[in-house]
Amino acid sequence: MNDELIQVKNLKKYFKTGRGLLHAVDDVSFSIEKGETIGVVGESGCGKSSLGRTVLRLNEPTGGQILYRGQDLVGLSARELKQIRPKMQMIFQDPYSSLNGRMTVRQLIAEPLIVNKVCRSRSEIDERIDRMMETVGLASRLDMAYPHELDGGRRQRIGIARTLILEPEFVVCDEPVSALDVSIQAQILNLLMDLQEDLGLTYMFITHDLSVVRHISRRIMVMYLGKCVEMADSQRIFDNPLHPYTKALLAAIPIPGIESRHKHRELLQGEVTSPVNPKPGCRFAARCPHASSACLESDIPMQEVEPGHFTACKLYS
């Protein structure tokens, strides 16, 4: 398909640690169409942020390819990368920690424009800031406010404004609502969806919370210890999950009025395998109710079990 904006092939990101090589992202492949949102879910530590950062080449990949409009980012020099940078941006979980507390809202939103030298005059900068504040729903009277004077939702709006002011095409949203009150989460999710439609953005939306990605993602990718274990349309993941890990994640979503925690405990027992120098085979095997010795023989590749629905599990191969 030629409307694929991003193609990731066999991407690996290993970190050297005192105990050995930590496989944070291990042989992950997927593509994202222009204007699409792909959700990336999995428990804390499974490699979601590492994947997002590596796709943007904020982390140096250990192996694999990242094609952006067909061009491999892995081979690019620092200078070539700098030119592409504004097109590929990231929204973070906690904008507060990344916002300089001594800068005003106006200064914070201006900063990416100044750093990337994209405007020719001060008045052009001012115009773009005014427009962007309106776009992300920040009242213009707040422009001289400091981040500590604002609530979490408004701070995240500053984070979003700083990302979008460079007019990116592709945005990695890394847990953008996880630090926010539940009441504000929906506002920010709606804002991100409206912006996507208005600006034609392509998102990789990372979260540990499956219920958050349900409506925002067209497709969902489930990660477990550096591996992608299942990928399908959002609806399919919820209606017909295949991988035992995906089933366990879904069972863990609290349903109002129903005690689902007991079920969760039953499904997710056993020790989490270490991501350092992992042995071959399925990394979920130690916690999987269906595991057999065949699961530990070799790594299990992703297979298309039904059209557009992929999983890496012996039960389906």
Ligand X SMILES: Nc1ncnc2c1ncn2[C@@H]1O[C@H](COP(=O)(O)OP(=O)(O)O)[C@@H](O)[C@H]1O
| Residues 185, 212: Cα–Cα separation, whole Å | 9
Whichever of 44 and 293 has its CB closer to ligand X, that residue is 44
Quick one: what does residue 275 bind among Mg ion, ligand X, none, with the CB cut-off 5 to 8 Å set by partner type?
Answer: ligand X
Q: How far is the CB of 297 from Mg ion (least distance, A)?
A: 31
Residues of this chain, 254-293, that bind ligand X according to CB under 6 A:
275
Whichever of 20 and 45 has its CB closer to ligand X, that residue is 45
Quick check: 174 and 48 in contact, CB under 8 A? Answer: yes
Quick one: what does residue 213 bind among ligand X, Mg ion, none, with the CB cut-off 5 to 8 Å set by partner type?
Answer: none
Given 5, 46, 108, 221, the residue binding ligand X (CB under 6 A):
46
Given 6, 22, 228, 251, the residue binding ligand X (CB under 6 A):
22
Q: Binding of ligand X at residue 44 (CB under 6 A)? A: yes
Whichever of 50 and 196 has its CB closer to ligand X, that residue is 50
Instruction: Calculate ∠ Cα 90-92-96, nearest 5°.
Output: 135
Quick one: what does residue 157 bind among ligand X, Mg ion, none, with the CB cut-off 5 to 8 Å set by partner type?
Answer: none
Quick one: what does residue 123 bind among ligand X, Mg ion, none, with the CB cut-off 5 to 8 Å set by partner type?
Answer: none
Q: How far is the CB of 266 from Mg ion (least distance, A)?
A: 27
- Render 223-256 in DSSP notation, one character per residue: EETTEEEEEEEHHHHHHS--SHHHHHHHHTSPBT
Quick check: 158 and 105 in contact, CB under 8 A? Answer: yes
Residues that bind Mg ion (CB under 5 A): 49
**DSSP type of residue 255:** B
Six token digits for residue 17: 């640690």
Helix (H, G, I), strand (E, B), or coil: what is residue 124?
A: helix
| Residues 90, 82: Cα–Cα separation, whole Å | 15
Q: How many CB atoms lie within 10 A of CB 192?
A: 22
Binding part of the chain for ligand X, among 45-53, 104-112, 257-265, 293-301 by CB under 6 A, reads 45-53
Quick one: what does residue 22 bind among ligand X, Mg ion, none, with the CB cut-off 5 to 8 Å set by partner type?
Answer: ligand X
Whichever of 270 and 308 has its CB closer to ligand X, that residue is 270
| Residues 223, 51: Cα–Cα separation, whole Å | 10
Strands (E) in the chain, as ranges, are 4-17, 20-33, 37-41, 63-68, 71-72, 88-91, 170-174, 202-207, 219-224, 227-233, 303-306, 309-311
Q: Binding of ligand X at residue 45 (CB under 6 A)? A: yes
Quick check: 234 and 214 in contact, CB under 8 A? Answer: yes
Binding part of the chain for ligand X, among 42-50, 135-143, 209-217, 289-297 by CB under 6 A, reads 42-50
Find the distance separating the first CA and the last CA of the chain, reported in whole Å. Answer: 26
- Nearest residue to Mg ion, scored by beta-carbon proximity: 49
Q: Binding of ligand X at residue 47 (CB under 6 A)? A: yes
Helix (H, G, I), strand (E, B), or coil: what is residue 66?
A: strand
Q: Binding of ligand X at residue 24 (CB under 6 A)? A: yes
Q: What is the largest CA-CA distance in the chain?
A: 67
Q: Binding of ligand X at residue 15 (CB under 6 A)? A: yes
Q: How far is the CB of 42 from ligand X (least distance, A)?
A: 6
Q: How far is the CB of 297 from ligand X (least distance, A)?
A: 25
Q: Binding of ligand X at residue 229 (CB under 6 A)? A: no
Interaction site with ligand X (CB under 6 A): 15, 17, 22, 24, 42, 44-50, 275
